[in-house]
């Protein structure tokens, strides 16, 4: 039991923080713990969580994906343009849009893994290119409304459960299996810990890196499709809010921004924490700018702690080496 707690302490702390934040918010905002409000909170957290799924994989592998805002936005706009508000075209439009998101992830992954472009530069450039392309395609004009089926997936319910919450649950199970049981998970943690050691251990580092970006592009596109159903229509800039939220959710969930540690189960808690915070701020009469301060502080603190831990490990290894020589 103690070994389990030690291994998963950061994830457990994330969930403890989530529960504490729920209780604090309920004190300042009576009725926050009502069933209807909790359902709304889970629905909003699901969008963050789905985008952050791919971001979790990328960060564990030692990278970062700054292209998620406009992968999401492009998916939403292209889907609504091609469907024209009708459900029937979704049979071919949805796979096409998801394949497009995965394809953008493939380009990012190849640029990082094969051509050695730093992840920040590669994914940021992709994000800017996508933004320009979608502006050229749409000319800034409004898009048709979201198809009814997409609206049902985003805001509909099966009994008391939101459909999107069930989708998120299935994705969480799939991500957990990939990270905990599949060879891909072992390769990913090895890659994030040390590329050189992973290569000497026979890990297909390039393939693993590319796959993480493909997954990130796929989940960002999927989130864009679902978010269109929630808002009723795609619009320019709808993905911008999900850049730092996806990174912050991963960080709050206990993952190291430097790679090599973390789990999607922690990211789920991180997504919930960030969504609960958006409900707490109005109760405290704070603006949305305060939330951006929280995002930045979380990322800065986790990177600093990760760097300190890495430096401490390096000092420990050097000390051990000197003792061996002596």
Torsion of CA 136, 105, 52, 112, to 10 degrees: -110
Q: How far apart are CA 187 and CA 181, in angstroms?
A: 11
CB 161 within 8 A of CB 169: no
Count CB neighbours of 315 within 10 A: 10
Q: How far apart are CA 63 and CA 225, in angstroms?
A: 25
Class of domain 40-325: mainly alpha
Confidence (pLDDT) at 205: 94
Task: List the alpha helices (DSSP H) in the chain.
Answer: 2-7, 9-28, 35-60, 68-83, 90-113, 119-138, 148-155, 163-180, 183-193, 195-200, 205-231, 242-252, 264-283, 288-325
Confidence (pLDDT) at 323: 47
Per-residue pLDDT reduced to its tens digit, 245-260: 999 899 888 888 888 8
CB 292 within 8 A of CB 36: no
Tell me how far CA of residue 279 lies from CA of 38, 199, 248, 266, 297, in angstroms: 11, 45, 17, 20, 19
Per-residue pLDDT reduced to its tens digit, 102-152: 999 999 999 999 999 999 999 999 999 999 999 888 887 888 999 999 999
Per-residue pLDDT reduced to its tens digit, 168-219: 999 999 999 999 999 999 999 999 999 999 999 899 999 999 999 999 999 9
């Amino acid at each position: 039991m103690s070994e389990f707690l030690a291994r998963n302490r950061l994830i457990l702390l994330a969930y403890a923080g989530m529960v504490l934040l729920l209780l604090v918010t309920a004190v300042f905002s009576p009725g926050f713990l009502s069933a209807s409000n909790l359902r709304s909170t889970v629905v909003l957290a699901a969008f963050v969580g789905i985008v952050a799924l791919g971001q979790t994989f990328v960060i564990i592998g030692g990278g970062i994906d700054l292209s998620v805002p406009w992968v999401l936005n492009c998916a939403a706009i292209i889907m609504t343009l091609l469907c024209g508000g009708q459900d029937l075209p979704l049979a071919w439009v949805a796979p096409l849009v998801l394949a497009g998101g995965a394809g953008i992830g493939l380009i990012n992954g190849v640029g990082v893994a094969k051509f050695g472009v730093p992840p920040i530069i590669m994914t940021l450039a992709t994000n800017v290119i996508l933004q320009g392309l979608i502006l050229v395609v749409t000319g800034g004009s409004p898009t048709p409304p979201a198809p009814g089926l997409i609206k049902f997936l985003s805001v509909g319910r099966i009994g008391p459960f939101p459909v999107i919450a069930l989708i998120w649950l299935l994705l969480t199970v799939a991500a957990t299996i990939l990270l905990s049981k599949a060879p891909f998970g072992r390769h990913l943690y090895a890659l994030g810990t040390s590329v050189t050691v992973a290569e000497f251990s026979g890990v297909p580092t390039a393939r693993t890196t590319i796959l993480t970006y493909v997954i990130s592009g796929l989940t960002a596109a999927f989130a864009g499709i679902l978010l269109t159903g929630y808002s009723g229509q795609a619009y320019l800039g709808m993905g911008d809010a999900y850049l730092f939220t996806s990174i912050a959710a991963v960080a709050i969930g206990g993952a190291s921004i430097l790679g090599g540690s973390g789990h999607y189960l922690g990211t789920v808690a991180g997504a919930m924490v960030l969504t609960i915070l958006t409900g707490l701020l109005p109760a405290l009469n704070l603006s949305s700018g305060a939330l951006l301060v929280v995002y930045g502080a979380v990322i800065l603190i986790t990177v600093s702690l990760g760097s300190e831990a890495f430096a401490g490990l390096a000092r420990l290894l050097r000390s051990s080496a000197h003792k061996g020589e002596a």
